[in-house]
Structure 1
Amino acid sequence: MARAQPHRYITAGFLHGGIVHLLLNMDSIRRMPDWLETGLGAGLYLSTFLTSIVTGHISHTYFDDFKSACLGASGGIMGLYGLMYVCLVRMGNSRAAWLVLRGLAWLLVYGFALGGISNAAHFGGFLGGVVMGILFGPRYRSSYALLRKNSLEVDNSPRDYRSVMGLGTKATSGIFPLSVFWAVCVLSLLSQPRLRSAPLMALRGLGL
């Protein structure tokens, strides 16, 4: 079905195997640090979430050799952790970055131990978030002006974002602007006949 209807790679992220599954994913999103959205921007946050849902489900599908279905937003959530990891590494916050990797490792251990959990989807979603972070996430540089008490440079960073970055660090633009990502997505949809109907089918699948 995924081969014939590729929109399922994203619509499956909005379906869950039961109320417990849904609540667990909602709680995982609730526990995300606020700076991941308020500091990095809602555009990058949402783009990473949606992209990682797709990469997570593609990873599950191919590692499972098209044998079983996969539902849930876990890939998107793991993608946000991947984005967080890249940002923390770029900030030089190695301790926090290590905690993200440790959390991923424990999640994979639980997946192997409990069953019914797609480690491939989790890992594929995480890698999707890492790629989004590398290409479109902010970079960071030292700013002497931010360390000066009477500096004219205004620090507009949210307080929790500043605490993670540390004093004297300033966020700058990524390697590519996010508009490049969406332009590539649109061009890919237009250039592939099989994908042109995917957005409309996705909206129908979501009941919109």
Structure 2
Amino acid sequence: MFPFRDHNPSRTTPWVTLGLIVANIAVYLLMTLPLNDLQLIAFYQEYGLTPARPEASDYLTAMFLHGGVMHLAGNMLFLWIYGDNLEDEMGHLPFLGFYLATGVVASFLHVTTSPGSPVPLVGASGAIAGVMGGYLLLFPKAKIDVLFIIVIIPKIWPIPAWIVLAIWFALQLVNGAASPAAGGGVAYWAHVGGFLAGVIGTLPWFLKEGAARWWQRTDGHPPHPDAHYGQLSNTSIPTVRRRK
């Protein structure tokens, strides 16, 4: 089960979302990828957020570091799915402030739930969890295409955002409760903190737009027409009938 796109491309160019994606990829390619293992450990210790000795600047720099290609790719995909519509509604600069603020809150919760840990926190997932929380509040019925692999057969099902995000959030809570300190290498409580910060941080905008009246006007979707995609199971290969 893997969410990989929504049906709601933004009305305007999401410059901040694109810029964040480019910045994260550039940092990985130019500053992280060339390092050997020992250099990488030292780099993470210097610029990641270590709960045992947190520094103010690390709350920002840690958001742009990633532990590998899959870590980076997953985060950037989720940022692209959910970020463009939120930026569309908030505006470019307010969205950037929202992204950075929720990332700081997420990192702070990780520090408080992992006191004394010498393991540096790296990754944009706390800030992206904040974007997901804001998306849930504003667009709960937006369609998210989820890829299911049934044995070896891929199948895409569009699922309302509130279901996809509720399942994701529940998994963070369960996994965080099962391993509150180490988290098995995943900062689950940072995800929880970022998500809740995203919901709370979006509330002023939501209330200004009329709260429930916003949902009535938009039916829980971004306020513009949906995009439509073909099914993954469809094929362009023509069917040839057998002769009798």
Distance 1:29 1:4, change over 3 A: closer
1:77 matches 2:128: yes
Q: Would you say the 8 A contact 2:79–2:131 is kept in 1?
A: no
Amino acid at match of 1:117: V
Bigger radius of gyration, 1 or 2? 2
Regions of 4+ moved over 4 Å: 1-4, 107-114
**Whole-angstrom CA distance in 1 between matches of 2:191 and 2:138:** 19
**Whole-angstrom CA distance in 2 between matches of 1:61 and 1:33:** 25
Post-superposition offset of 1:98: 4.2
The match for 2:165 is: 100
Distance 1:33 1:118, change over 3 A: closer
The match for 2:242 is: none
Distance 1:49 1:33, change over 3 A: closer
The match for 1:12 is: 62
The match for 1:53 is: 103
The match for 1:128 is: 197
1:162 matches 2:213: no
In the comparison of the two structures, how many residue pairs are matched? Answer: 146
The match for 1:139 is: 209
Distance 1:48 1:162, change over 3 A: same
Structure 1 residue ranges without an equivalent (≥5): 90-94, 147-158, 165-208
Amino acid at match of 1:97: W
Same amino acid, percent of matched pairs: 30
Post-superposition offset of 1:40: 3.0
The match for 1:177 is: none
RMSD between aligned residues: 3.2
More helix by share: 1
The match for 1:29 is: 79
**Whole-angstrom CA distance in 2 between matches of 1:57 and 1:44:** 20
Amino acid at match of 1:13: M
Structure 2 residue ranges without an equivalent (≥5): 1-49, 141-159, 227-244
Distance 1:110 1:24, change over 3 A: farther
Distance 1:88 1:160, change over 3 A: closer
